[in-house]
Structure 1
Amino acid sequence: MNSIAVKLTNLSKSYGKHNAVPNLNLEVKKGELFGFLGPNGAGKTTTIKMITGLLEPSSGTAEVNGIDIWKKPIEGKKKIAYVPDQPNVYPKLTGWDYLNFVGSVFRIPKDQFQSKAKELLQIFNLTDQADDLIESYSHGMKQKIAICGALISDPDVLFLDEPTVGLDPKSARSLKNLLRELCDNGMTAFVSTHILEIAEQMCDRVGIILDGNIIALGTMDELRSGNGNADQSLEDIFLELTGDEDQQALIKEISDNGDDKW
């Protein structure tokens, strides 16, 4: 039995002479909650779009549960769900209509759909707004209905790009707890986030990408061990590896100088 949920082999994306992602190799195990981290422009969203079939690679392969997403797109997309950083949901549908549409696309039996939809709406406190038009939703509510839509089909692999942006603290915690439970029950989550504290708390493994290359990969203990400091936070490791540590030191110096003037 294949225990690999996501396998990237020499996956590349070029725009003219610019290599956005050069020859990326990565494996994510089934049931893993994987954190995909990197500064702006590092290649996170480009990579996720190639794996989910939204952006064609220049070369290499992206497999989900052993299925090449570009050679067998329909078969592969039946296994996955994707929530982008900006939730693009149909504004003229109600929340319930949107979930019903997603359920019909995946041909979910009516009874199964009804119970699953009600459960997800309750988890994210959307039950009372389910019959309202999505155009009346706040950004956070749109994010939550998009997450509900992604989970309605019980995907084998869930891709989330900055999922907590716009979520209130209660909803963010609900999402963290739900992802942990789903992964413990066999689903795989591939999560891109800028909130390093969340990644440190909930992810089984973390991959840090810079200029399209994986520069660190492992559990928190492995990352700390590789960096030679058992007490480091993920934020410390991230800033050190991506070169942002110097920028933070400069900001502190400017701030300190400003304090002296006052």
Structure 2
Amino acid sequence: MIEPAPAVEPAPVAEPVAASVAVAPATTTDPTVAPEPTTDPTVAPEPTAETDAAEPQELVAPVVAPEPDRDTTTAVLAPAPAVAAVIDDAPGEASVALAPAPAPATAGDALVLRGVTKRFGSTPAVDGIDLTIPAGTFYGLVGPNGAGKTTTLSMIAGLLEPDRGTIHVGGVDAAAKPLAAKKLMGVLPDRLRTFDRLTGRQLLYYYGVLRGLPPAVVESRTVDLARAFDLEDALGRSVSDYSAGMLKKVMLAGALIHSPRLLVLDEPFEAVDPVSSAIILDILSTYVAHGGTVILSSHGMELVERVCTRVAVIVAGQVLAEGTVDEVRGELTLEQRFVELAGGLSDVEGLEWLHTFSD
């Protein structure tokens, strides 16, 4: 009988030598067990003087939070007027209340104002206005004289600088990039200033070239605008010979010549006869129907009620009501609602002497 060989004891395994920095081996993770969150993932663990060789520590790369994008021009701009589609208002909007909360800004907004404030000395002309105007909107800005409408439109157009607040035109910060914002706008200011010695044709040529259009394009568009505004017979005459209505039309044609995304119009129908008003209204309605945006101030409540998509009532530099025309007027007419918000009728007490006529 052969005796079995004695068992051979395994040779002892040498212990690993600790390195200066130990690297953790790849480990498998049990998908059923959620990993424990670290105290602060943005801070890397501080190295210790001694390293445990038996239980090496895992090196954790610090997580660096990405810096926010400072370039606001990457926002999606509102569609140009060439797009033949109307952008409808968002459904389900809340009813209008006094001092309404501003609607959240979206990439499709043509104009966004947040906390815009302007003072002249100790007098607040505009006091923290918030407005959100979607693209493809015919927007009315109404209020009594001295309410801050012209000051608001002047700040939007870049003619005045707000003391506080932000203005974004098509996603462009008007304070950080004023030239880029102004390229998107056409402006009809209050108290028209023009070059009286130029003819209507020369004035439109100046507007077009100033906007960077090639001379041939300016001439072609001048012909189209003159026909649309019924100015063909007046283009060869000096602007100083124009009536108030004709001057308003040629200035509006100049605001449109570069095909802007947004029109900022201060009292576009003031001193304009009914025929010219109908022509201007038809052009603006077609412009909005093809994706353009109009914000205008007006004292004509009936006109605003008839043509505007949305309206804001400004009194003493503050927005007291904002929304669709139906939301703002409620059960009243827009004029009645306007008078109600503006403080009602004036007190005529003390004018009894006016009832007795002098000889």
The reply to whether TM is greater than 0.5 is yes
1:209-256, CA deviations, whole angstroms, 9 ceiling, x for partnerless residues?
00111001111221233xxx2xx211111111111x333x859xx89x
Runs of at least 5 residues in structure 2 that lack an aligned partner in the other structure: 1-75, 77-106
In the other structure, the counterpart of 1:179 is 284
**134, 140, 149: which one pairs with 2:245?**
140
Higher Rg? 2
User: Are the aligned partners of 2:154 and 2:189 in contact in 1 as well (CA < 8 Å)?
Assistant: no
Q: CA deviation at 1:141?
A: 1.2
In the other structure, the counterpart of 2:229 is 124
> Whole-Å Cα distance in 1 between the matches of residues 199 and 175 of structure 2?
32
TM-score by length of 1: 0.90
In the other structure, the counterpart of 1:196 is 301
Deviating more after overlay: 130-139 vs 32-41:
130-139
In the other structure, the counterpart of 1:246 is 345
> Whole-Å Cα distance in 2 between the matches of residues 224 and 152 of structure 1?
35
- Asked if 1:233 is matched to 2:333, the reply is yes
User: Are the aligned partners of 1:89 and 1:142 in contact in 2 as well (CA < 8 Å)?
Assistant: no
Identity within the alignment, %? 36
* Paired residue secondary structure (1:201): helix
Root-mean-square deviation (CA, aligned residues, Å) is 1.9
Q: Output the amino acid matched with 1:142.
A: L
Deviating more after overlay: 108-117 vs 78-87:
108-117
TM-score by length of 2: 0.66
Q: Output the amino acid matched with 1:206.
A: V
- Asked if 1:54 is matched to 2:159, the reply is yes
Runs of at least 5 residues in structure 1 that lack an aligned partner in the other structure: none
In the other structure, the counterpart of 2:325 is 220
In the other structure, the counterpart of 1:11 is 116
Question: How many residues end up aligned between the 2 structures?
Answer: 249
> Whole-Å Cα distance in 2 between the matches of residues 237 and 182 of structure 1?
28
> Whole-Å Cα distance in 2 between the matches of residues 142 and 58 of structure 1?
32
Q: CA deviation at 1:166?
A: 1.6
In the other structure, the counterpart of 1:105 is 210
Higher helix share: 1
In the other structure, the counterpart of 2:132 is 27
In the other structure, the counterpart of 1:83 is 188
Q: CA deviation at 1:111?
A: 4.2
**220, 231, 254: which one pairs with 1:115?**
220
Q: CA deviation at 1:138?
A: 1.4
**268, 277, 283: which one pairs with 1:163?**
268
User: Are the aligned partners of 2:249 and 2:280 in contact in 1 as well (CA < 8 Å)?
Assistant: no
Q: Output the amino acid matched with 1:246.
A: L
Q: Output the amino acid matched with 2:142.
A: L
User: Are the aligned partners of 2:128 and 2:165 in contact in 1 as well (CA < 8 Å)?
Assistant: yes
Higher strand share: 1
User: Are the aligned partners of 2:137 and 2:292 in contact in 1 as well (CA < 8 Å)?
Assistant: yes
Q: CA deviation at 1:114?
A: 2.8
